[in-house]
Structure 1
Amino acid sequence: MSAPTLPARPTTQPEPAPGVPITGADRVRGTIARWQRASSPVAGPVATVLKYLSLVAACLFAITPILTILMASFKTDKEYRTSGPLTPPKNWFNVDNFVTAFTQGNMVRGFLNTLIILVISVVGSVIIGAMTAYALDRFQFRGKWLVAFGFLVATFVPGVTTQVATYQVVNAFGLVGTRWSAIVLFMGTDIVSIYIFLQFMKSIPRSLDEAAMLDGANRLTIFTRIIFPLLKPAIATVVIIKGIAVYNEFYIPFLYMPQPDLQVISTSLFAFKGPFGSQWQVISAGTILVIVPTLVAFLALQRFIYNGLTSGATK
């Protein structure tokens, strides 16, 4: 015995029952439905073309400045002054600018200072951020919402408006002219790292804390031996984001560490800019040397960044 066939679903807007008045909303819905049916063969391809055109335009906006710097880094001084920014160099094997930037710009010393500041700052930022998130998530105390609100408000205050007060505080501690001035400022916990740690912290059941307390563990032991090891995805995400931010920072090292022996990788290129002219082709070569480690690190670790952010947002 064959199964009964179901009636086909209507593909058009059903007609109103006899005697039921047609309202203005019904007319509008019918018009929209007819317009969609008529435009669907054209709207689909047009939307696809517009999508890819927008992607191409975004790629051009992102790649053009880097391509301009790359071509300028292979040009001579005369060639740079007489050619356009998008004109390819005559000799793609001219590495004199890279040698000049690496040797006269003391980029080895800049990389070393950057590495010292980056490692200490990132480690301190991870510890402070994780402990702050643990306190906000696990403890109940008066003014808890005020602390979280204070971190949020601080992100809306432009940093340039507080630089005078910040400089006076750092100078009062005698840290100006030392690496510790940049390290202390970079270690300051930002709302992004707190948010990432908080999202992962909420995914860890509180029953683990309670079971450890029954075994006699205190809060510090619970945090260091149970909570902190479970935060590895969040730690990886914060390390990457914070590390790239510290590596690319220019203003803080330039303001608080003006000595030549304390130059970092971002300020070492400033040696080629003077009041009587600038060697832009050498600066471009140094910029490429600075970009390459960041680009390689981002391409190698981008999946950890995206996975960490999305996992923290959905847990």
Structure 2
Amino acid sequence: MTRSAVARTLMYLSLVGATVVVLLPLAAVLLTSLKSEQEMANGSGALALPDDLLNLHNYATAFQDGRMLSAFANTAVILLFAIGGTVLIGSMTAYAIDRFTFRFRKLVVALFLIAALVPGVTTQVATFQIVNSFGMFDSLWAPVVLYMGTDIVSIYIFLQFVRSIPTSLDEAARLDGAGAFTIYRRIIFPLLKPAIATVVIVKGITTYNDFYIPFLYMPSEDLGVISTSLFRFKGPFGAHWETISAGAVLVILPTLIVFLVLQRFIYNGFMRGATR
């Protein structure tokens, strides 16, 4: 057996192993969500098939008693403002850094990169005090503002794409009397569509799955989002793993569908930004 054949075999084995590691927990959650309370009480294994593969009672219980509809609505509002704000702030910041010459420009870029390396939890005490002082605690505005103002990665993605746009387009527009904002709105922003698609998808999935910020800044039950509503199953449904699993499937399904449909935009956006 040649060395290349051994390497290829090991590569495929590692891929199969990684696939099994990823899919087994998902399969266990899905199968558990279809089991009845009696099956769980009898000690049915996590990967054992349920008696009724069409048993959707747990999903109805999780959706109604877990207030999932309200959680989806709150999540949608946060996603709308957070993603829109991130796209505008990130693209404008990247445009200003790349196209304008000002003192300490390199220092600003370095500070952005340094800020991305600082764990968010280390600054939460100060952040909490600031949010509370503005009266945004226990409101939807707290996560919206935090999501918009702390996404250094999005700024970096936009910066790579802005640098690839020829400055000759800006100069031609200025000869026609266009100002800086007009150039951004009519030239730069339309050419950032691949970066915008990447940021929207990545930011949307990250915000949708985030638990820490909504849990810390929105303790009221009527402000629950998808992630915190799932956590609250731990209380009244603490022993009913079939209901918890059904709630988990309801939470996972939207992001899974979005990722499968739009994954090529994610990969293309990162690859094009990295090679510019």
TM tier relative to shorter chain: over 0.9
CA RMSD between the two structures: 1.4
Q: CA deviation at 1:271?
A: 3.0
- 1:125 corresponds to which residue? 86
Q: CA deviation at 1:86?
A: 2.3
- 1:217 corresponds to which residue? 178
Q: CA deviation at 1:215?
A: 1.2
2:162 counterpart of 1:201: yes
1:6-41, Cα deviation, whole Å (9 max, x unpaired): xxxxxxxxxxxxxxxxxxxxxxxxxxxxxxxxxxx5
SS in 1 for 2:226: coil
Cα pair 1:272 1:278 within 8 Å, conserved: no
Q: Quick check: 185-194 or 238-247, which moved more? A: 185-194
**1:15-34 matches, cutoff 5 A:** none
Cα pair 1:151 1:190 within 8 Å, conserved: no
- 2:153 corresponds to which residue? 192
1:247-286, Cα deviation, whole Å (9 max, x unpaired): 1111111111111111111111233212894322111101
Q: CA deviation at 1:85?
A: 2.2
5+ long unaligned stretches in structure 2: none
- 1:168 corresponds to which residue? 129
Cα pair 2:198 2:266 within 8 Å, conserved: yes
Q: CA deviation at 1:79?
A: 2.2
- 1:156 corresponds to which residue? 117
- 1:42 corresponds to which residue? 2
- 2:96 corresponds to which residue? 135
Instruction: Return closer, same or farther for 1:55/1:222 CA change in 2, 3 Å cut-off.
Output: same
Instruction: Return closer, same or farther for 1:50/1:276 CA change in 2, 3 Å cut-off.
Output: closer
- 1:22 corresponds to which residue? none
- 2:28 corresponds to which residue? 68
SS in 2 for 1:216: coil
Separation in 2 of the partners of 1:187 and 1:222? 23
Cα pair 1:98 1:285 within 8 Å, conserved: yes
Separation in 1 of the partners of 2:257 and 2:72? 16
Equivalent position to 2:19, from 59, 65, 71: 59
- 1:291 corresponds to which residue? 252
- The residue identity in structure 1 corresponding to 2:157 is I
Separation in 2 of the partners of 1:138 and 1:254? 39
1:72-94, Cα deviation, whole Å (9 max, x unpaired): 11122342241222222222121
| Identity between Structure 1 and Structure 2 (%) | 60
Separation in 2 of the partners of 1:258 and 1:252? 10
Q: CA deviation at 1:192?
A: 1.6
Cα pair 1:129 1:189 within 8 Å, conserved: no
2:71 counterpart of 1:110: yes
Q: CA deviation at 1:156?
A: 1.4
Equivalent position to 1:280, from 235, 241, 249: 241
Which has the larger helix fraction?
2
- 1:32 corresponds to which residue? none
Separation in 1 of the partners of 2:15 and 2:237? 41
- 1:314 corresponds to which residue? 275
- The residue identity in structure 2 corresponding to 1:266 is S
Instruction: Return closer, same or farther for 1:107/1:252 CA change in 2, 3 Å cut-off.
Output: same
Separation in 1 of the partners of 2:231 and 2:40? 19
Separation in 1 of the partners of 2:233 and 2:84? 33
Separation in 2 of the partners of 1:133 and 1:263? 33
Q: Quick check: 271-280 or 204-213, which moved more? A: 271-280
Cα pair 2:34 2:242 within 8 Å, conserved: yes
- 2:231 corresponds to which residue? 270
Q: CA deviation at 1:226?
A: 0.9
Separation in 1 of the partners of 2:241 and 2:20? 23
Q: Provide the TM-score with structure 1 as the length reference.
A: 0.84
2:90 counterpart of 1:145: no
- The residue identity in structure 1 corresponding to 2:28 is T
Instruction: Give the number of equivalent residue pairs.
Output: 275
5+ long unaligned stretches in structure 1: 1-40
